[in-house]
């Protein structure tokens, strides 16, 4: 049934229907609506689950890791500095091969303090062994959260389902919420292969010498390499039931496109209308939305941009000294493909600044008419800052 | 110097809700500074995150608005770098006792000369009314819609046990006592903890049907009593106000200087 709800509640509704058993979190704006709804569900019996409000994000993920080790389905949610504080445990969750699902609300890091949308928080965690999905709207948040449990429990890796602060987390949109029976068909109860069990005592997290540590890391990489095909299976089953499918990337009008704009998150929604406006004026833009960031869907990206003359990557994030993070990944995916289109990097919308249709159209023209830049990236719509001593 | 000279007027009106007790704490703090006759240049104020932490924006001292829970760790760095300055740390429930709880007990253990003003409103106001480690059993919050089963810390007992050499408690109703206590806390050499019970009518008051800010302040009047009073003996549920610990103990920066002195002997 279609209901009007925030992106935050699209996440919490999916968690309710996924019959998660243990949830832990620490309050941080703009993630709080997700866990407030879940706290209510846990206490009024809507969910048969335990909610732990602990004393920090570090403790929240620790609690979820140990609950997952006991073989139950788990969830946490955070944002920005909360995610940064979890960093040590992010590695632990993937290293222990635990299928934890997290809702991450993209928010800028301080200083200066800023609570608005910026992807640098989650992209800074790209090497922690978590699968990452970036969502465009409330429906995608809901669907992807359900996908996440299936996928995580299949490949034994944790999954982050990411949405933009406020543009998505606090924006009301219609979201189709299926009933419990339908979701149960898609997502059976969690049965963990490796868990602490009094019948089969074991010891976890022990000293791992060089003779075996490397293989354990290789196994994580092997699991990551399976994600793409497993995700395609998960989506196939999901779409048979719910008639919605996304793919790790979504190419829009890329077949004959001269300039392809590569986007993620809510900017994709804006970009769709820009593409159709420009097409109606006889231009040939395309859009490539990247949904799955880890593992990076390099094959899909190569296929989508192969025929384009130019590629423009719009990043609402920055790796200082290297440029936009999606841009780095796109460049690296194309490097061994000969020939490949030149890649233009644009930094836009940091700290919640609007990326408007005009911003994207200007990027299109700049890319179409311009030569490859000397630097790694162009900063979009920044003001001249007067330096005072 | 007039009180107004201690604030950054350009940041007003402040963002606290109407009825919030934090403005009273700010007022008391400024009067304490005025009474002590400190110059703006001698004071560093360090805060973390939350409603209480916004104080650093409003006062015209050297101010640092830092990470959630880490205010005391940042403050320790400031004090070790420039020990002659007065370091004041306004903190809320989360900064002092949840995410920052570890820093709180270790700052007390070291007895470094910092003044922590713990503004206890028993809830996380800024993020929307979730329960905190000071909410207490039975309290309602957005993350405890029925009732909270977590017990609260007693800030005075915790600070005392951890080794703070000045520990006091009062409320926003007792403004004169608050000014007096903050003055003494700043003068004290060592780690000083001042717990201030301060009302959050928006979340704590509303969630728990306590009424208006005025009703909440009346409760501070009725449910507290001076330390060691006869009333406390007759009604053990009353919360005591006053100075609980005030003792001379070796201060961390001074002790550190002794190490330097010893290490430099013979050179």
Task: Examine the pLDDT at A382 and tell me if it is beyond 90.
Answer: yes
Nearest to B89 by CA among B114, B68, B111, B70: B114
Residues A85 and A221 in one domain: yes
Write out residues 214-243 of B within 8 Å (CB-CB) of A. none
Distance CA A117, CA A105 (A): 8
Alpha-carbon distance B157 to nearest alpha carbon in chain A (angstroms): 19
Buried b (16+ CB within 10 A) or exposed e, B50-60: bbbbbbbbbbb
CATH number for the domain harbouring residue A44: 3.40.50.970
Task: Examine the pLDDT at A236 and tell me if it is beyond 90.
Answer: yes
DSSP state of B141: B
Alpha-carbon dihedral sign for residues B193, B197, B202, B206: positive
Residues A118 and A12 in one domain: yes
Its pTM stands at 0.92
Domain count across chain A: 2
Nearest chain B residue (CA) to A35: B143
Percent of chain A with pLDDT over 70: 100
Task: List alpha helices for B48-91, DSSP H.
Answer: 55-58, 71-81
Distance CA A43, CA A48 (A): 9
Residues A101 and A13 in one domain: yes
Multiple choice CATH, B3-264, 3.40.50.1970, 3.40.50.970, 1.10.1740.10, 3.40.980.10:
3.40.50.970
Distance CA B261, CA B257 (A): 6
Instruction: Verify cis geometry, omega within 30 degrees of 0, for the bond prior to A295.
Output: yes
pLDDT band at A389 (very low <50, low <70, confident <90, very high): low
Residues A225 and A277 in one domain: no
Q: Is A384 a member of any domain? A: no
Q: Quick one: pLDDT at residue B267? A: 63
Last residue of a domain, one of A213, A242, A271: A242
Chain A contacts to B (CB-CB under 8 A): 26-29, 32, 35-36, 39-40, 43-44, 51, 53, 55-57, 81, 85, 110-111, 113
Q: Is A385 a member of any domain? A: no
Nearest chain A residue (CA) to B124: A27
Contact B67 A39 (CB under 8 A): no
Please state, rounded to an integer, the average pLDDT across all residues of chain A.
96
Domain boundaries, chain B: 3-264
Q: Is A386 a member of any domain? A: no
The string of pLDDT tens digits covering residues A260-286 is 999 999 999 999 999 999 999 999 999
Pick the range with the lowest mean pLDDT from A63-77, A84-98, A374-388, B205-219. A374-388
The string of pLDDT tens digits covering residues B128-186 is 999 999 999 999 999 899 999 999 999 999 999 999 999 999 999 999 999 999 999 99
Contact A51 B143 (CB under 8 A): yes
For B217-240, what is the mean pLDDT?
96
Residues A53 and A124 in one domain: yes
Q: Is A291 a member of any domain? A: yes
Residues A334 and A278 in one domain: yes
The string of pLDDT tens digits covering residues A283-292 is 999 999 999 9
For A359-377, what is the mean pLDDT?
90
Last residue of a domain, one of A242, A273, A302: A242
Q: How many CB atoms lie within 10 A of CB A71?
A: 15
Residues A31 and A55 in one domain: yes
Contact A194, A216 (CB under 8 A): no
Q: Is A102 a member of any domain? A: yes
Residues A295 and A232 in one domain: no
Residues A85 and A161 in one domain: yes
Contact B143 A81 (CB under 8 A): no
CATH number for the domain harbouring residue A313: 3.40.50.920
pLDDT band at A205 (very low <50, low <70, confident <90, very high): confident
Distance CA A160, CA A319 (A): 20
The string of pLDDT tens digits covering residues A15-74 is 999 999 999 999 899 999 999 999 999 999 999 999 998 989 999 999 999 999 999 999
Domain that holds residue A358: 250-379
Residues A210 and A310 in one domain: no
DSSP state of B205: I
**Which pair of structure tokens corresponds to residue A75?**
């969830």
Residues A156 and A180 in one domain: yes
Alpha-carbon distance A89 to nearest alpha carbon in chain B (angstroms): 16
Chain B positions in Cβ-Cβ contact with residue A43 (cut-off 8 Å): 144-146
Q: Is A388 a member of any domain? A: no
Q: How many CB atoms lie within 10 A of CB A307?
A: 14
ipTM of the complex, rounded to two decimals:
0.85
**Which pair of structure tokens corresponds to residue A180?**
């419990």
Task: Examine the pLDDT at B113 and tell me if it is beyond 70.
Answer: yes
Contact A50, A25 (CB under 8 A): no
pLDDT band at B266 (very low <50, low <70, confident <90, very high): low
Last residue of a domain, one of A188, A208, A242: A242
B68 part of contact set with chain A, CB < 8 Å:
yes
Distance CA A169, CA A153 (A): 26
Percent of chain B with pLDDT over 70: 99
Alpha-carbon distance B224 to nearest alpha carbon in chain A (angstroms): 28
For B2-16, what is the mean pLDDT?
93
Q: Is A202 a member of any domain? A: yes
Alpha-carbon dihedral sign for residues B113, B119, B120, B123: negative
Nearest chain B residue (CA) to A32: B127
Residues A262 and A323 in one domain: yes
Q: Is A99 a member of any domain? A: yes
């Amino acid at each position: 049934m279609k209901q009007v709800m925030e992106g935050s509640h699209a996440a919490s509704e999916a968690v309710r229907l996924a019959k998660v058993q243990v949830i832990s979190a620490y309050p941080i704006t703009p993630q709080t609506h997700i866990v407030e709804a879940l706290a209510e569900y846990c206490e009024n019996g809507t969910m048969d689950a335990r909610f732990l409000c602990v004393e920090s994000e570090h403790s929240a993920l620790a609690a979820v890791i140990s609950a997952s080790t006991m073989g139950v389905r788990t969830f946490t949610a955070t944002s920005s500095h909360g995610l940064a504080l979890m960093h040590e445990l992010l590695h632990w969750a993937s290293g222990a091969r635990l299928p934890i699902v997290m809702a991450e609300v993209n928010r800028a890091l301080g200083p200066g303090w800023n609570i608005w949308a910026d992807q640098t928080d989650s992209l800074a965690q790209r090497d922690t062994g978590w699968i990452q999905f970036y969502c465009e709207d409330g429906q995608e948040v809901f669907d992807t959260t359900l996908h996440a449990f299936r996928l995580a429990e299949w490949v034994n890796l944790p999954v982050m389902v990411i949405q933009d602060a406020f543009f998505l987390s606090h924006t009301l949109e219609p979201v189709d919420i299926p009933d419990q029976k339908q979701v149960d068909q898609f997502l059976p109860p969690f049965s963990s292969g490796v868990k602490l069990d009094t019948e089969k005592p074991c010891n976890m997290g022990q000293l791992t010498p060089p003779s075996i540590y490397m293989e354990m890391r290789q196994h994580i990489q092997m699991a990551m390499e399976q994600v793409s095909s497993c995700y395609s299976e998960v989506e196939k089953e999901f779409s048979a039931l719910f008639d919605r499918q996304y793919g790790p990337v979504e190419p829009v009008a890329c077949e004959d496109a001269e300039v392809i704009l590569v986007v993620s998150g809510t900017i994709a929604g804006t970009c769709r209308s820009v593409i159709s406006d420009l097409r109606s004026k006889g231009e040939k833009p395309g859009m490539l939305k990247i949904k799955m960031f880890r593992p990076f869907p390099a094959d899909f990206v190569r296929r989508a941009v192969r025929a384009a003359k130019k590629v423009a990557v719009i990043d609402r994030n920055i790796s200082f000294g290297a440029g936009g993070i999606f841009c780095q990944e796109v460049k690296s995916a194309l490097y061994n493909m000969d020939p490949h289109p030149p890649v233009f990097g644009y930094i836009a919308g940091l700290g919640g600044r609007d990326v408007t249709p005009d911003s994207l159209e200007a990027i299109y023209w700049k890319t179409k008419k311009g030569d490859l830049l000397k630097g790694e990236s162009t900063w979009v719509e920044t003001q001249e800052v007067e330096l005072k001593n | 110097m007039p009180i107004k000279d201690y604030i950054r007027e350009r940041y007003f009106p402040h963002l606290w809700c109407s009825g919030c007790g934090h403005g009273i704490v700010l007022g008391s703090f400024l009067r304490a500074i005025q009474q002590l006759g400190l110059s703006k240049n001698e004071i560093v104020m360090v805060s973390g995150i939350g409603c209480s932490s916004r104080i650093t924006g409003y006062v015209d001292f050297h101010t640092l608005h830092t990470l959630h829970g880490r205010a005391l760790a940042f403050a320790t760095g400031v004090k070790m770098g420039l020990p002659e300055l007065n370091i004041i740390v306004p903190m809320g429930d989360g900064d002092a006792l949840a995410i920052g709880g570890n820093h709180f007990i270790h700052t007390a253990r070291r007895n470094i000369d910092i003044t922590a003003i713990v503004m206890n409103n028993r809830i996380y106001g800024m993020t929307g009314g979730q329960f905190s480690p000071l909410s207490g059993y039975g309290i309602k919050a957005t993350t405890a819609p029925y009732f909270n089963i977590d017990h609260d810390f007693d800030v005075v007992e915790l600070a005392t046990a951890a080794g703070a050499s000045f520990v006091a408690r009062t409320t926003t109703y007792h403004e004169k006592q608050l000014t007096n206590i903050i003055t003494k806390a700043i003068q004290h050499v060592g780690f000083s903890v001042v717990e201030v019970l301060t009302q959050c009518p928006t979340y704590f008051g509303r969630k728990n049907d306590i009424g208006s800010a005025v009703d909440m302040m009346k409760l501070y009047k009725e449910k507290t009593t001076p330390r060691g009073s006869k009333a406390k003996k007759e009604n053990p549920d009353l919360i005591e106000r006053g100075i609980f610990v005030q003792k001379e103990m070796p201060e961390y920066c001074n002790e550190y200087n002794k190490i330097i002195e010893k290490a430099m002997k013979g050179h």
